[in-house]
Amino acid sequence: MIARYGNFIGGREDFEGEEAELRGPADGSRLATVTFADAEKTKEAIDAAEGAFARWSKTSIGERQKLLAALADRVQERSAEYSGLESENTGKTIRQSTLMDIPLAIEHIRYFATTKDFPSAREIEHPEYPGTKGIVQYAPLGVVGAIAPWNVPLLMAVWKVAPALLAGNTVVLKPSHHTPLTALELAKDCSAAGFPAGVMNAVAGTGEAVGQALVSSSKVSMVSFTGSTATGERLLSGSAGIKKFTMELGGKSPNVVFDDADLAKAVKGVLFGIYLNSGQLCESGSRLIVQASIRERFLAKLKEGMEKMRAGNPLDMETDVSAITTSEQKAKIEALVDQGVSGGARVYYRKQMEGATPAGGLYYPPTLLTEVPEEAEVAREEVFGPVLVALDFDTEDEALRLANDTEYGLAAGVWTRDTERARRVSGGIDAGTVWVNEYHLLSAAAPRGGFKKSGIGRELGVEGMLEFTQTRHVFLNEGTDIDEVAYGLLLPE
């Protein structure tokens, strides 16, 4: 008997709708059935959130944080279950889910549950009007539509849901219809932790049905979206009325390696940057930009590292290579690589995985491409798979040109022992996150988002919390006559 999931609306699980069967990408086995919501069911969830907003928005920050802390405890108690579901549903290795994704999700809920940095209000002075003061209040927006991607379902849901609830909003979460399981569990655990009915709702279903219903509803005040740039552009054009959007979109992130770098550490960082979760991460370091003087030596070390990566069943704790989550994504990866090779790119190394992975699963071997024309699509477009494109440079200026020669600007890595060079180069790269001598390490206290076509707005940190608010300025005059001059313009004595 496989698990059965409904949507979570108004504090209860709702099984009304068409049921879809989910299969695990690791081996194709039946995993669960999920009730897909249509536009009308999504409107029910929006109505539930709207109905809960008036009361929830009046709760104190302390009350909200107490409930977020209870949610973190609840997810912590069930962390092994969450890890298993995350890996079964996405195909990522159980080691990644157990040691990285789920612990990060829990810690990030705790960050929002304990932070003192959320400014519910601040006092200002009016330099033009001595004796008066102002209070800037950070008010909730209303109903937030949160659209999360299929690659990191729980963590991405947390990044949207936790700050939105902290700010006093109510939420309708749309997880990907490919990987909704942990997000649906999170919604149920919000209820178990004590959040009032309607404050947190989750509806699974397609973008055409659920996503469009969220962006077209006049009752939804904000949409927080993570996904592809093309989908983000469609959502913006399909929006009804005036609403706020934040969007974390695609990336083609560079890892720039200078010849003075700690090469052993840089090799590990570059491999981790692209092959974690088989490259199915928005900020994956998919472009290696390496100084020509160390190119051959560095590529050889990358190959050695790739040879050591263990292929197998992702649900085995000893496996390093994740599955590809959807068949559509696997086909896209294959097409982009084949097109690149036809256009002159060379496969420097491709990991042999035949016979090592479970039959019926979705896999693409970690691949390293060299001699890729700069204009090739595989060098310019997001592959979202385990494919690293290697380019080389001679000078720092050339490295910066290559790093910024992209429509995207989500993340980047810089590898050098020269502190001044690190500051110069990281400050010159058009990206929302730049790691120096690291890659992929995330902090809940740091804002995350993109330049250019990689998005608008920020998640995490104070900046991310403020995205879920609107400001109200209260002008206070507590007894001065400074306004008499202004009033006298219209009302002379």
Instruction: At 52, give phi and psi (nearest 5°).
Output: -85, -15
d(CA 224, CA 402): 31
CATH 3.40.605.10 fits 3-249+454-474, yes or no: yes
pLDDT of residue 374: 86
Catalytic site residue 282? yes
Q: What is the pLDDT of residue 35?
A: 98
Q: What percent of the chain has pLDDT over 70?
A: 100
Structure tokens belonging to residue 300: 């050889």
pLDDT value of position 71: 98
Mean pLDDT along residues 19-43: 97
Per-residue pLDDT averaged across 478-491, rounded? 84
314-335 average pLDDT score: 98
Q: At what angle do helices 61-77 and 79-90 cross, to 10 degrees?
A: 70
The residues, any chain, with a CB within 8 Å of residue 162's CB and separated by 6 or more, are 68, 108, 109, 112, 113
Please report the pLDDT score of residue 240 as a whole number: 76
> If you average pLDDT over residues 193-220, what whole number do you get?
97
For residue 225, list its beta bridge partners: 147, 247
DSSP class per residue in 160-196: HHHHHHHTT-EEEEE--SSS-HHHHHHHHHHHHHTPP
Distance, in Å, from the CA atom of 356 to the CA atom of 305, rounded to the nearest integer, reads 18
Q: Is 3-249+454-474's fold the same as 254-436's?
A: no
Going by DSSP bridges, is the β-strand pair 387-393/287-291 parallel, antiparallel, or unpaired? parallel
Q: Which residue is catalytic, options 248, 283, 382, 459?
A: 248
Domain positions in the chain are: 3-249+454-474, 254-436
Average pLDDT of the segment spanning 423-447? 97
Task: Report CA dihedral (485, 489, 490, 491) to the nearest 10 degrees.
Answer: 40
Superfamily of domain 254-436: Aldehyde Dehydrogenase; Chain A, domain 2 (3.40.309.10)
Q: pLDDT value at position 481?
A: 86
CB 465 within 8 A of CB 246: no
pLDDT of 363-405, one tens digit each? 999 999 999 998 999 999 999 999 999 999 999 999 999 999 9
Instruction: Out of 50, 88, 190, 282, pick the active-site residue.
Output: 282
The four Cα atoms 367, 368, 371, 377 give a dihedral, to 10 degrees, of: 50
Asked if 86 is an active-site residue, the reply is no
pLDDT averaged over every residue in the chain: 97
Contacts of 358 (CB under 8 A, 6+ apart): 26, 27, 313
Question: Could you report the per-residue pLDDT of 215-265, keeping only the tens digit for each?
Answer: 999 999 999 999 999 999 999 888 877 899 999 999 999 999 999 999 999
